[in-house]
Amino acid sequence: MTENENVSINKKMVILITHGMGDQSNKPKCSKKYATKFEKSYTKMQKKFDKSFKKIARKENRDENYYLNKLHIAPVLWAEVLQEKQNTLKKRITKCRYGVNCENKNLKYRTIWRGLRKFLIDFLSDAIAYYKSINSRSTYDKIQAKFLETLQKLVREEDGVKKDSPLCIIAHSMGSVVVDNLIFDLQTDLPGNWGNNIIEPKYDLDNAKTLEFYYTMGNPLALWTSRRDKPDFGDIIEVKKWVNFYSKNDVIASPLGNLNECYRLARCNAEGKKLQIHNQEDYDKCKAVTTNDGITTKLVDKRVRPGGLFTSWNFLCHNKYWTCKKVIKTIVKDITEYIKEDIP
């Protein structure tokens, strides 16, 4: 047995899970068990994964940890880059400061209006702060650096995580936009400063060269790309399989297959349809096209029904993808099939 073969046997697939918009700070009053809202969602999803992988292994007469031993699941919390700014902003607009223009010494926003103001600060300020411009992109780079830091740390410290381990990313809400930008920057050689420490990709793993699966839940990418000068909605990233989970009742998310020619062809590629070009100009700009006029990315828009009796039919379903049975089942099925074929 060669040295390279020995390494491949112990190689694990890395599954990164990241959150979306909103306040991810500590919430001890809400839950003593979880430190943040994201940790609560992440832990619930991880438990669902554990249960599903063990169930499949038992059906195949394998050790119940057979699949779990070939995976390393890790969270990426990028909201901490923005949290201090948001906390400061909340204090300054909800309390009277410096005794200037204050009718009351302590301003209190009651009932629904206070809730709406908190929503605007927690959610919209994430999108505003993340936006990069020619003059300012420090927040953008710091957030992207969180992903590189996590992957590089896994290679250094976790047994079985190699420099070329296969990669799977699961992203919720605005986290989908963050990951999309990161992968696009890496694939087009357009990295920024990657944070204060000027972190740069070191391995195939953190360079997105081993990206096998990308799953987005409640993805607002269609809304985000509308900020472009021209309605071309940009290029699609290169990934072997991208499953975009959305609900018809989720006002933030939408299917992506109709955004432009690149996305349409990627969807046709996943469906096994003949790639008929409808817009040659858009097609020529598509970086996911190979030299033989094929397209590397397979995009699946999968409609699901996250949530329960009180949430599945309204906008609250946006935060319920984490435990959706169809989401879990799809991801587990893809990963188990990949392990059977590619990981000894």
Q: What is the pLDDT of residues 215-272, one digit of tens each?
A: 999 999 888 776 665 556 778 899 999 999 999 999 889 999 988 888 888 898 898 8
- Find the helix packing angle between 138-157 and 80-94, rounded to 10°: 140
Q: What whole-number distance in Å separates Cα of residue 69 and Cα of residue 56?
A: 14
> Taking Cα atoms as reference points, which of 226, 144, 219 lies closest to residue 176?
219
- Which residues, in sequence order, are CB contacts of 177 under 8 Å at separation 6+? 130, 219, 220, 221, 224
Percent of the chain with pLDDT strictly greater than 90: 44
Mean pLDDT of 70-97: 74
CA 184 to chain centre: 13
Q: What is the pLDDT of residues 262-312, one digit of tens each?
A: 888 889 889 887 777 777 766 676 766 664 556 788 999 999 999 999 999
- Which residues, in sequence order, are CB contacts of 222 under 8 Å at separation 6+? 233, 254, 256, 259
pTM: predicted TM-score of the whole model, two decimal places: 0.85
Mean pLDDT of 137-159: 89
pLDDT value at position 4? 37
Mean pLDDT of 56-71: 95
Q: How confident is the model at residue 2 (pLDDT cuts 50, 70, 90)?
A: very low
Domain spanning 3-79+138-342 has what CATH number? 3.40.50.1820
pLDDT value at position 307? 92
Residue 173 corresponds to which tokens in the numbers above? Answer: 């809400």
pLDDT value at position 199? 78
Q: How confident is the model at residue 23 (pLDDT cuts 50, 70, 90)?
A: low
Q: How confident is the model at residue 157 (pLDDT cuts 50, 70, 90)?
A: very high
More confident residue, 281 or 328: 328
Domain spans in the chain, listed from the N-terminal domain onward:
3-79+138-342
pLDDT value at position 304? 97
Q: What whole-number distance in Å separates Cα of residue 156 and Cα of residue 159?
A: 8
pLDDT value at position 258? 87
For the chain, the C-alpha Rg in angstroms (whole number) is 21
Q: How confident is the model at residue 92 (pLDDT cuts 50, 70, 90)?
A: low
- Of 7-16, 106-115, 279-288, the range with the lowest mean pLDDT is 106-115
Strands 13-18 and 167-172 come out as parallel
pLDDT value at position 35? 63
More confident residue, 99 or 303: 303
pLDDT value at position 5? 35
